[in-house]
Structure 1
């Protein structure tokens, strides 16, 4: 661990910001500028594509794979409070998972609030998963992953898939997921001021755009406190102790355990929301990404390519 690294990240996130609620355009521009500073692994191959009814960014390892080789697929959902962010702002996270696993990823450009409030993002994510299945991909080769709001989508998309009668993906990886629109976790108060990124007021501002008047007391908005997780795939939840959303992960882990779901709750001390984005600048970020990659390679089933090609 490096106290100096953590102090530098904390100072960056505590840089002065405009007072009062920002416009949607200002939030989107500010987030894009911040995430552009994050390191992306060299040698990745990226291309714009379409998945379901939405644009997506395909991210593949730099090494060419032999034709016909089957590799794992990560369906990635970016963060941004359901209001800002894009596949490009999440490229440091997606790219690091791809580089560490050798899997390919599709990072979905789902619709954003306030133009497209709940449940538009979930509908887009489900459509993307359905498109992968319709293309012939085995669900055992697919994992959902996401950060912040996208981490929440990795869970709620599983709920939607189960409700639609679709098979579950092989695994879920969620970085600092947003899993409780009721904001009733104790960390919302105990970590106030400790969190360099979020405040209850700020979360309420973007949350209201996504909810658009919907009752937050429903599983698709607050799965950490209301969802039935029966039949869910193995889950890895990673969070830092310096975030108000910490208890979204701790309560989701408890709920998964009660439903007999394999779950790993991975908490790192003295790091902020989605600290994994600071790979290359924060040792804890690289270590957490290594653990996430190991989890994915353990749970995503890869058919024997030699046997497949011999058929």
Structure 2
């Protein structure tokens, strides 16, 4: 089978599409014929060798989310059958990543996707959707509370805005001039400018400070000034600043959600009903994985970059 591999750490040009042995599903596992797999910052960090120890046995295969069709099931799997359209998350550290023609995942990690949802769009749901779902579980904000979302135009931020609005929260979100219309369309109640004046603008909209904050832009300590005493923050990266005034900072670890197929199914169902916006920036053939990495690292991409293993399916 074809797979994107990292034969050595370095820039995008180290990536190679290689032939690897077909993986066999074990007990409780399902083998998926992959139609589409996303490229995200985790992949570029892995490729550059910034995670320290190697993620697993060579050759290393990046990718954390995929969509496709069930190919075969392992012993003890009764809820899935060959031919079903599915989406799932996986981690390169637990074996080969998502950017392969066939990937084996635990049966409980899968969710079904409807026939009218494209594979490329479906592949954008798992990682960021489950990240935001965990963030809201940690924040525990009641309806009517005020939430700030930083990085609202990004993949995590966009889902956070929409799901926050759906939960009855008053959502304040940041945006640059080029993204303001998008963030408003996602449903933000108040849009504040990114940059040095952001905290002051948030405080103008919420003078006593906000109840919760999802820091998708990884701003860190400076944004705490926008949070009220005793408020809560969900951070997608480790927080490196002192936390005072009774504010609680919870680190979101999406790896804890990767076998939560039921939660993933809820997100898929929301997207199918048009309550969650799936944004695909570009679909590239798997042979152009290096180009996808270059585009992502250049910045400014809105929506997800997706690698296609079968153009007839995407």
TM-score under structure 2 length normalisation: 0.28
Looking at CA atoms only, which structure, 1 or 2, has the larger radius of gyration? 2
Whichever structure has more helix as a proportion of its residues is 1
TM-score under structure 1 length normalisation: 0.28
